[in-house]
Amino acid sequence: MKKNNMITPEGTRDLLFEECLARRAVENKLTAAFRTRGYNEVMTSGLEFYDVFDPESSGISPEEMYKMSDRRGRLLVMRPDSTMPIARLVATRLQNHQLPLRLFYTQPVYRSNPGLAGRLDENAQAGIELMGASGIRADLEVLTTAVEALSACSPDFRLELGHAGFFRELARQLPITEEQREDIRSAIETKNYAALDTTLDAIPQTAAVAGMRRLPRLFGGEEVFEQAQEVCPTETAKMTLSYLHKIYHAVQDLGLGNRVIVDLGLVQRNDYYTDIIFTAYTEGYGDSILMGGRYDNLLAHFNCPMPAIGFGINVDALTRIALAHGHFSAPPAAQILVYSENGYSIKALSHARALTKQGLRCETSVAETQAEAEAYAHSIGIRRLDVVGAKITEVLL
């Protein structure tokens, strides 16, 4: 007996009418922002081999992936991320292409989120990857593109800046295992001060430990850089902080003002990101709507080492925000309904085609009688009926 043929799987949903309009509008705005910056679209397979998303390089746990096997027993996954497949694509089909590569995508990703209520497992995502370019110019290009793309869809956003290297340098000074390092990273990411203190209390107390304790509290504006200087244990940490300071001022020059926040506790997937990292939030949505950063080591896993930076935007989140703000309503009814008398179906179809060429929204009636056609037009708000017979008669309803 069928039990699930009338529902969608957990973590997925159907879209109707105005939701589809809003989704397409968001995608079109993002696509336009990417294209004007010189980025070219790529699409990757929805099914990938599990090896593409090796957890050590992707930062994605096996539990988050939807897995299956092919006819030869090889392990496949539904695409949980777009950057890794694009890295594979670059290493195989674009390895001789002129650098840098400016690529963008608009496609769904699939992640299992059983413990995170409200998060979908199927998410529409759009983003860019700038591959083969390093340095502050490349970083600012990507940050600028992120700001322009978000501004086109949701102008009221907050941008947070961090640097993966700061946490990594502090962690390098600690006598900890990889497991402890991950516990510390997770506690800082979630700002779980109690869990962070529990882990750090078991380590000999040094300046680096004191700095790690302060890391989730180091967020705000210009004052963060002065406070962070006090917990820089090495020259590498100081250089990292100095570079982030330059990025912070440059992004402020884009006119964002107090909407730019520095967060040295921004440590998501630090084994994936190598340098600058950034995320964006907006009112009305509790999670980040954009996440990105530099990942200079990633393409080496595909035997194609090169620097790279990019970001991904949650298209579904922007769609919900647009709908909540009332920017989209149900599509309007057609302006004209074309009804054909017996023997005049082809003439009616030709008439309808001529109307649509004039830019009018037009439906052709499938009713058997004119009365039925008029009743249908009334029910959905069509105000004009064209009756096609030996002659064409316009009936205003």
Instruction: Look up residue 54 and give its DSSP letter.
Output: -
As given in the structure block, the two tokens for residue 129 are: 């990857």
CATH number listed for the domain at residues 17-324: 3.30.930.10
As given in the structure block, the two tokens for residue 324 are: 């909540």
- Residue 373, helix vs strand vs coil: helix
As given in the structure block, the two tokens for residue 338 are: 């074309």
Binding residues: 81-83, 111, 125, 129, 272-273
Judge if pTM exceeds 0.85: yes
Average pLDDT over residues 267-272: 69
pLDDT band for 186, please (50, 70, 90 cuts): confident
**Where in the chain do CATH 3.30.930.10 domains reside?**
17-324
**Where in the chain do CATH 3.40.50.800 domains reside?**
336-396
pLDDT in tens, 295-319: 999 999 999 999 999 999 999 999 9
As given in the structure block, the two tokens for residue 65 are: 């992936």
Q: What pLDDT, on the 0 to 100 scale, is given for residue 117? A: 55
Cα separation, 343 vs 325, in Å, equals 49
Query: Is the model's pLDDT at 258 over the cut of 80?
Result: no
Among 104, 77, 20, CA closest to 316: 20
Query: Is the model's pLDDT at 116 over the cut of 70?
Result: no
pLDDT in tens, 384-394: 999 999 999 99
**Where does residue 308 rank: exposed (0-12), middle (13-18), buried (19+ CB within 10 A)?**
buried
Q: What pLDDT, on the 0 to 100 scale, is given for residue 57? A: 75
Cα separation, 62 vs 80, in Å, equals 10
Cα separation, 90 vs 72, in Å, equals 26
Binding residues for L-histidine: 81-83, 111, 125, 129, 272-273
Cα separation, 375 vs 367, in Å, equals 10
Q: What pLDDT, on the 0 to 100 scale, is given for residue 120? A: 85
337 vs 327, more confident: 337
Average pLDDT over residues 272-294: 90
Q: What pLDDT, on the 0 to 100 scale, is given for residue 3? A: 82
Long-range contacts for 350-356 (Cβ within 8 Å, ≥24 apart)?
A: 351/386, 351/388, 351/392, 355/386
H-helix or E-strand spanning residue 293: strand 290-294
CATH number listed for the domain at residues 336-396: 3.40.50.800
359: left (phi over 0), alpha (psi -120 to 50) or beta: left
Note whether 142 and 280 are within 8 A (CB): no
Among 341, 342, 336, 369, CA closest to 355: 336
Query: Is the model's pLDDT at 118 over the cut of 80?
Result: no
Q: Let me know the angle formed at the C-alpha of 115 by 110 and 119, rounded to the nearest 5 degrees.
A: 45
